[in-house]
Chains A and B, each alone.
Chain A
């Protein structure tokens, strides 16, 4: 589900709290819980930024919804094939799943965050504008993880357009994300849907206009 364009060579370095067992248990103390949520959202954002994950599948990250410990162990063995998760491989959706599983499941500690707790983290991130369920309002499996918000992406695109003097130019979305011209920019390899969201932000400000249908969409910058 997550798409990355650039290859990442270095594995993600987890923060210290990832190896702190209580990190995986929902805290009852309000202030502690708040700190825990902040730490989790920071971790998710940093992780997704590292692997350039834009959409997170909760069911993939937390398989079998972790209702019982027995299923947990089975999925652990199933996922053991990708025991060196980050790797230097080009990110495909399959690798992304293996990677995101590692995010909520510390295999070394044998501790994992439950789906309900993960959703709570996502909710906290949504309140901060750092996440959004794909499609629906709440619930659902796919989550936008805004390690950059659409506004930030829009600003990035706008700056690139300014810098390269492409005002008034018509481009296809494919050109923007996969074209040679954008290589080396952050939004190279950006998820098309997310790019559209960013471009809509620009359109609202009157800086761009999106036209076309489906996979042949284009944009004109003003």
Chain B
């Protein structure tokens, strides 16, 4: 299925996958499938993330929101709009697995589409995989900057460990040594497009083709091309068509697996039909609505119609994320740890993985020291290789971040426990706030409003996140200013939100029906609380608390009848009891007083609040009468019926 059901957060935003990053949001969009409008997805917001395109419906977000994995996208096209027709971005899904065994004829475009990324200008001169011959041939190539000859990346080249000392073979044609960055780029782009492979330090010798057919849901399909010897000609396609090499544009015979001229791999699929469809479906905006009875699993293209603008930025960002292909990072082979050391020459030497024999198993202090040494050495290598080059740094970003975090934690260990705890909380919240709403991820004509609504949702998620428990820790009520500070601190000092925007965003919670609300006390203090917490529930909890005080004797002798009156409570008491801040407690108590639930007593000990016994009209007496009335009523009824 191309369109998948989408899980939403409490704030009705897409629930993000690990490492997923939000790139762009645009409201007022509709979805088409092929020529037809999807009836339930005609007004909503589209979220472009590094992994997916999510559509969140405005009317029925829980029911009609859908997502589309960029992984499944074969190609995407841009349509600028004409007259009444809105600008659209068409997303062509990858063909179903069945079609992958068909022809590779007449693939004029998208040479790498079968491998999950689309043609893009930025990638055009990038390295392509060499022909995946069954032998131990590296499947990555780098293009010489001098003579444009595509060389194979050496099979022993590992981007995770490569540094300046790594020996690089010169170009086979001109003999000029490539730069490390150049080869590294080629290797990384190859590695990232590689399907998840078992942890192996050496780039897998499996050809991409072999693992490709098993990637999808159609498991039973035999990996037909894996042998690299045969391909079945597509009966439906034009047999006379030739296969154009994506690199040198030579028209090869369809049955060839690699280009006759340059040796580039020739992989294709039947995108021709799909593209034909994609080209013809540009109809006017009030297009026909898709018949509901049809299943979603047809391999029709999906169009995102931008009725409120923003299509250009969306397209640019989509292009970017399709090039980056971050979804592959998750499946990338894990970084081999403590399996490499530096030899005498300073070159990285890799010891075989998975064995325990090579490692000295030290015991006691010597063992610990040895281990510490190993770890330090490992870190040295990692940092050394990472900072040599910006590309290399990007390649090993994950490890470096992890390392930095570990250093930070070690640094904290020395200082006070409280400080370190605060720092961890801060660091954690910062990392959890990965999906920040910034001004540049939203676009279109209504960008200000959209930004605020997205910020509001972002805030609501921040507040309701159970893992962080921002609201819970503050007793369900948090001072608005405190929240602002906390939120901006969690953003780590970048993309800070101005107080003005912050307040505007908070004011949008209620129209957006988010589970938090902004409340203004009569003194003007603004607090944030979850929307199920109303004044009534607060009053209820205050009253049950005061009722408890009537049950249990006070700490010291009191001159009044505590059985009847309980005792007075200060804002401090309330703050302690409910976990509120003092300011909030004051406001809540005054709110209860305003409602006639409490009355005040100003004395030497400060302002205290009591249950309101002064005003019989207030709720205090009514429930009592009811309680009293109940047994009386029963007695009366018993008397009437003659039992008594």
Asked if A24 meets B560 with Cβ closer than 8 Å, knowing A31-B596, A32-B615, A35-B616, the reply is no
Q: For residue A138, give the distance in angstroms from its CB to the closest CB of chain B.
A: 25
| Residues of chain A in range 99-127 having any CB-CB distance to chain B below 8 Å | 108-111
Contacts of A69 in B (CB 8 A): 604
How far does the Cβ of A144 sit from chain B's closest Cβ, in whole Å? 26
Judged by a CB distance under 8 angstroms, whether B376 is at the interface is: no
Contacting residues of chain B (579-612) with chain A, CB-CB under 8 angstroms:
593-594, 596, 599-604, 608, 610, 612
Contact B614 A16 (CB under 8 A): no
Q: How far is the CA of A22 from the CA of B608 in the complex (A)?
A: 8
Decide if B601 touches A24 in the complex (CB within 8 Å): yes
Beta-carbon contact of A35 and B568 below 8 Å: no
Cβ-closest chain B residue relative to A32: B615
Tell me if B560 and A19 are in contact (CB < 8 A).
yes
Cβ A32 vs Cβ B603 within 8 A: no
A-contacting residues, B421-448, CB 8 Å: none
Query: CB-CB < 8 A to B613: which residues of A?
Result: 16-17, 20, 22
Query: B299-314 CB contact bits vs A (8 Å, 1 = yes)?
Result: 0000000000000000
Chain B residues, CB < 8 A from A108: 559
Contacts of B602 in A (CB 8 A): 25
A108 CB to nearest B CB, Å: 5
Given A32-B596, A32-B599, A111-B603, A20 and B614 contact (CB-CB distance below 8 Å): yes
B610–A27 CB distance below 8 A: no
Instruction: Check B617 for interface membership: any CB of A closer than 8 A.
Output: yes
Q: Is the interface of A mostly helix, strand, loop or mixed?
A: helix
Q: Are A36 and B614 neighbours in the complex by a CB distance under 8 Å?
A: yes
Give the shortest distance, in Å, between B590 (CB) and chain A (any CB). 8
Complex contact A27–B599 (CB within 8 A): yes
Interface residue tally of chain A, by bracket? 20 to 34
**B165 interface residue (CB < 8 Å to A):** no
Q: Is A179 an interface position by the 8 A CB rule?
A: no
Is A23 an interface residue when CB atoms closer than 8 A count as contact?
Answer: yes
Q: For the complex, count residues of B whose C-beta is within 8 A of A.
A: 24
Q: Is the CB of A16 within 8 A of B564?
A: yes
Of all chain A residues, the one with the shortest Cβ separation from B595 is A29
Q: Which residues of A contact B614 (CB under 8 A)?
A: 17, 20, 22-23, 27, 32, 35-36, 39
The residue on A at minimum CB distance from B615 is A35
- Which residues 1-45 in A have Cβ within 8 Å of B in the complex? 16-17, 19-25, 27-29, 31-32, 34-36, 39
Chain A residue at minimal CB-CB distance from B611: A22
Check B599–A29 contact: CB distance below 8 A. Answer: yes
B565 interface residue per 8 A CB criterion: yes
For the residues of B in contact with A, the DSSP-based class is loop
Most buried by B among A17, A23, A25, A108: A25
Which of B561, B603, B618 is A25 in contact with, Cβ under 8 Å?
B603
Residue in A20, A21, A28, A35 whose CB lies within 8 Å of B617: A35
Measured between alpha carbons, how far is A31 from B620 in the docked complex, in Å? 14
Given A31-B615, A69-B604: A22 touches B568 (CB 8 Å cut-off): yes
Nearest chain A CB to B510 CB, angstrom units: 27
A28 to B591, CA, bound (A): 12
**In the complex, A39 Cα to B610 Cα: how many Å?**
17
Q: Output the least CB separation between B624 and chain A (Å).
A: 14
A27 and B560: CB pair below 8 A? Answer: no
A158 to chain B, nearest CB (A): 37
Q: Which of A122-138 contact B (CB under 8 A)?
A: none
- Name which residue of chain A comes closest to B568, CB basis: A21
Q: Could you tell me the distance between the alpha carbons of A39 and B600 in the complex, rounded to whole angstroms?
A: 16
How long is the Cα–Cα vector from A35 to B559 in the complex, in angstroms? 23
- A16 surroundings in chain B (CB, below 8 A): 564, 613
A27, A31, A32, A35: residue with the most chain B Cβ atoms closer than 10 Å: A32
User: Are the CB atoms of B610 and A109 closer together than 8 Å?
Assistant: no
> Given the complex of chains A and B, what is the CA–CA distance between A2 and B575 in angstroms?
49
Q: How far is B561's CA from A1's CA once the two chains are assembled, in angstroms? A: 34
Q: Give every chain A residue within 8 A of B559 (Cβ-Cβ).
A: 19, 108-110
Rounded to whole angstroms, the CA-CA distance of A111 and B603 in the bound complex is 8
Report the minimal beta-carbon distance from A107 to chain B, rounded to whole angstroms.
9
Which of A27, A29, A31, A110 has its CB near the most chain B CB atoms (within 10 A)? A29
Query: Which of B608, B610, B618 touches A20 (beta carbons < 8 Å)?
Result: B610
10 closest pairs, A vs B, by CB? A35-B615, A22-B601, A32-B615, A22-B599, A22-B610, A25-B601, A108-B559, A25-B602, A21-B601, A36-B614
The residues of B with any CB-CB pair to A shorter than 8 Å are: 559-561, 564-565, 568, 593-594, 596, 599-604, 608, 610, 612-618
Given contacts A25-B600, A31-B596, A32-B596, could you give 11 more A-B pairs where the C-beta distance is less than 8 Å?
A: A20-B610, A25-B599, A29-B593, A29-B599, A32-B612, A32-B618, A35-B616, A36-B599, A36-B615, A39-B614, A69-B604
26 inter-chain pairs at a CB distance below 8 angstroms, sorted by A residue, are A16-B564, A19-B559, A20-B565, A21-B565, A21-B603, A21-B610, A22-B568, A22-B600, A22-B613, A24-B601, A25-B602, A25-B603, A27-B599, A27-B600, A28-B600, A29-B594, A29-B596, A31-B596, A31-B617, A31-B618, A32-B612, A32-B615, A32-B618, A34-B615, A69-B604, A110-B559
